[in-house]
Chains A and B, each alone.
Chain A
Amino acid sequence: MANSIEVKNIDAGYGSVKVLHSVSIDVQDGETVVILGSNGNGKSTLIKCITGILAPSAGEIILKLDGQEIDLIGKKPEEIVELGISLVPEGRRLFPSLTVEENLMLGAYKESARVNIEDNLDMVYEAFPVLKERSRQAAGSMSGGEQQMLAIGRALMSEPKILLVDEPSVGLAPIFVSRTIAKIKELKEQKNLTVLMAEQNFNQAVKVADRGYVIVHGQIEFEGKDAESLSNNEMIKQYYLGL
């Protein structure tokens, strides 16, 4: 049961604007890998390429699923979700006028997730009791922290093997940032997930990271083999903390 993603030398951008320049990263089975970088350096663009929302202009993205190699480039987002990759989007991107429960149901839109939909709903409600209390409330009427919980719950409804999390800290109060990050770690261990997280909140991200990359102007500037090497790196200190 080994699942991994390998991104090899991808270029991507929007129209004539190139954002990613030959980016290579990999995420191995059971790891939590973080991509660190401040705004506008290409974190979300990289995530968009993996989810199939944006087609890279060069390079390859290989998903290894139980020994099988699948090229993700050219696949539609719904096919990629079907393969077991699920996204917690940046800024949560909930369906604001739909209820909490309807949002969760939409997380399980793919055929294979329909079978266990009731069990998974219970699982999410157990992980986030506040969502159960508010199951009939419109998602847009909840607080930012609750919305983030819902976004994570919605992503889990598709029974992912690999969870992509794009900037979970955006727009959240500091207390909710650390709660969210802790929750992701807890769920990852509980469900044996492989996690790729893009984040600019360095201090929070290194708490859960097994490994990480620093992306600057669309290029991987640094690869940290473990959390230690990330937190003790001079370049990162300079870049992030202004030390």
Chain B
Amino acid sequence: MKINGFWIGVLIVLALGYAFTFFVDNEFYFFAVYVVLQGLIMAVAWNVLGGFTGYVNFGSAGFFAVGVYTSIALNKAFALPLPLIIVASACICGLIGLGTGYLTLRLKGVYFAIATLAMAIVFETVANNWEYVGGAAGTYVLQPENSFFFDSYVEFLFMVMVILAVFATALSRYLSISKIGQGLAAIRDDETAAECMGVPTLRLKLISASIMGGLMGIAGAPFPFFISFVDPLSAFSLLIAVNAIAMPMIGGTAYWYGPVIGALLLGTIQEITTVTISSELNLLVVGSLLVAFITLAPQGIAGLIHDLKNGRQKAKDKSHG
């Protein structure tokens, strides 16, 4: 039942996305939804390691930037079509996730968080000094002429993002309901106990770090074509990095749908703020929402939903028993 529900939802989202490219003319909406979906993919990616596994990671937006720069480099060197660039970015960021995971995942808590922050700074330093992809001055990326079946390249990018967001959500959902997800939840609760129960903790943490990296990479790969001009300041933007953490926190980190809800909510509020008030207020919005949720609903929206459901289930059990 549940599986069917999810896949029907997926089809509806894909169909709506496709219909959107037909019926909407104002390009602003494509830009706005693109930004929200980019946040969604990053939130889902962050949550695989930070939420499911409990390894709070301050550097994961660095992987987004690695995806961005991989994309620029591949485009410049081989002018590959975007889908191939996305796959390549996913692989490269996944591998970097695996490698850095191997180096940092034996650290815990605050030490892990700081190590990941340092890692992002290393990535940024590399980007600043890599002249081929523009270095500190940045580089222009031209949108290819070929926009496949769509009226404009922006519409094509929008559809790509819809597909990637659905893919990321489906992958994270699969992880959370599979045996791997059970193991990750055990690591989050008590890693030593998980080890004693025969959960292969290191292997699961590395899987989770690789998937985090890979999904961050696919979020970053289309970005240069979207904004046309990339410099390290835009790729390593504070807002992007903070969003990747704030969205899952607000949505609820323990469930696959948490970051999805958080990203749709926060992303939409940010887009509305940008248009109606000012884009400078964005970080303030994130900050206030984050404070509100951490104090009032530390389990996020998904946690609230879960409690409500459980309460109802208990009442049901009682009336039956």
| Nearest opposing residue in chain A for B193, CB measure | A93
**Contact, CB under 8 Å: B197 / A107:** yes
| Most A Cβ at <10 Å: residue of B195, B197, B200 | B197
Residue B163 at the chain A interface, CB threshold 8 Å: no
* Shortest distance from the beta carbon of A175 to any chain B beta carbon, whole Å: 26
Residue B139 at the chain A interface, CB threshold 8 Å: no
Pick from A98, A107, A154, A158: contact of B185, CB under 8 Å: A98
Chain A residue numbers with a CB within 8 Å of B160 are: none
The interface size of chain A toward B, counting residues with CB under 8 Å, comes to 25
Pick from A81, A94, A97, A102: contact of B198, CB under 8 Å: A81
**Contact, CB under 8 Å: B195 / A53:** yes
A93 and B185 CA atoms in complex are apart in Å by 14
The interface size of chain B toward A, counting residues with CB under 8 Å, comes to 21
**Contact, CB under 8 Å: A53 / B197:** no
A102 and B192 CA atoms in complex are apart in Å by 17
Chain B residue numbers with a CB within 8 Å of A93 are: 190, 192-193, 196
| Most A Cβ at <10 Å: residue of B193, B198, B200 | B198
Q: Enumerate A62-86 residues with CB–CB distance to B below 8 Å.
A: 76-78, 80-82
Chain A residue numbers with a CB within 8 Å of B195 are: 53, 77-78
**Contact, CB under 8 Å: B197 / A82:** no
A188 and B190 CA atoms in complex are apart in Å by 27
**Contact, CB under 8 Å: B199 / A106:** yes
Residue A176 at the chain B interface, CB threshold 8 Å: no
**Contact, CB under 8 Å: B189 / A98:** yes
A124 and B307 CA atoms in complex are apart in Å by 27
A216 and B310 CA atoms in complex are apart in Å by 49
| Most B Cβ at <10 Å: residue of A87, A106, A136, A158 | A106
Residue A181 at the chain B interface, CB threshold 8 Å: no
Residue A105 at the chain B interface, CB threshold 8 Å: yes
Total cross-chain contacts (CB, 8 A): 68
Chain A residue numbers with a CB within 8 Å of B183 are: 106, 109
Residue B313 at the chain A interface, CB threshold 8 Å: yes
Residue B106 at the chain A interface, CB threshold 8 Å: no
**Contact, CB under 8 Å: B200 / A76:** yes
Residue A110 at the chain B interface, CB threshold 8 Å: yes
Chain A residue numbers with a CB within 8 Å of B188 are: 97
Q: With A82-B198, A136-B313 in contact, is A94–B185 under 8 Å at CB?
A: no
**Contact, CB under 8 Å: A97 / B193:** no
* Shortest distance from the beta carbon of A26 to any chain B beta carbon, whole Å: 22
Q: With A95-B189, A97-B189 in contact, is A109–B199 under 8 Å at CB?
A: yes
**Contact, CB under 8 Å: A109 / B189:** no
| Nearest opposing residue in chain B for A139, CB measure | B189
Residue A171 at the chain B interface, CB threshold 8 Å: no
Residue B119 at the chain A interface, CB threshold 8 Å: no
Chain B residue numbers with a CB within 8 Å of A78 are: 195, 198-200
Residue A153 at the chain B interface, CB threshold 8 Å: no
A158 and B197 CA atoms in complex are apart in Å by 8
Chain A residue numbers with a CB within 8 Å of B221 are: none
Chain B residue numbers with a CB within 8 Å of A106 are: 182-183, 186, 194, 197, 199
Q: Which 10 A-B pairs have the closest CB atoms?
A: A81-B198, A93-B193, A95-B189, A78-B198, A110-B198, A78-B200, A77-B195, A87-B196, A106-B186, A109-B198
Q: Offer 28 A-B interface pairs, CB within 8 angstroms, sorted by A.
A: A51-B196, A53-B192, A77-B198, A78-B200, A80-B198, A81-B198, A82-B198, A89-B192, A93-B192, A94-B190, A95-B185, A95-B190, A95-B193, A96-B189, A97-B189, A97-B254, A102-B182, A106-B186, A106-B194, A106-B197, A109-B182, A109-B183, A109-B198, A109-B199, A136-B310, A136-B313, A154-B197, A158-B197
Given A102-B182, A109-B199, 10 more A-B residue pairs with CB atoms under 8 Å apart are A77-B196, A78-B199, A89-B196, A95-B189, A95-B190, A97-B185, A98-B189, A109-B183, A109-B186, A158-B197
